[in-house]
Amino acid sequence: MVPLIYYDSKTGNVERFVHKIKALTGWEVLRITENIEIKKAGHLVTYTTRIGEVPDSTQAFLQRYADYVTTVSSSGNRNWGKNFAKAAETIAVNYHLPILLQFELSGTQPDVQKLIHLINKEI
């Protein structure tokens, strides 16, 4: 089974990150939109907004499709200190999901490799 990644991106950082994964693996990546319809389980990658919060668009997606989400990862900015990539922590608690990775901005190549490795362990 080929892994599937659902992602939410505001500034393009998360989009760049998941497309690095797609380029290396060929995995399917789907951007979260208001009218997205999903029927398959996948991994969620989102961003952290307003210095530690879950984006409204990610929250709306989870309200509809949380049962299809198997893990969560999020980007953030280390300048936010304890709120760095906190969206993953909030989602993990609220939806009882494992956190795979918290990374800065669009992630480094080691971050990309780590997430690929962790998703492969999950399937």
Residue with tokens 């939410």: 8
Cβ–Cβ contacts within 10 Å for residue 21, how many? 23
DSSP assignments along 1-31, one per residue: ---EEEE--SSSHHHHHHHHHHHHH--EEEE
Please calculate the CA angle 54-55-60 and round it to the nearest 5 degrees. 100
pLDDT per residue as tens digits for the range 88-119: 999 999 999 999 999 999 999 999 999 999 99
User: Which residue range forms the structural domain that includes residue 39?
Assistant: 4-122
- Separation CA 27–CA 112 (nearest Å): 13
What's the number of domains the chain is made of?
Answer: 1
At 53, which CATH number? Answer: 3.40.50.360
Strand order in the sheet with 69-76: 28-31, 4-7, 42-46, 69-76, 99-104
pLDDT per residue as tens digits for the range 30-78: 999 999 999 999 999 999 999 899 999 999 999 999 999 999 999 999 9
Confidence of residue 122 (pLDDT cuts 50, 70, 90): confident
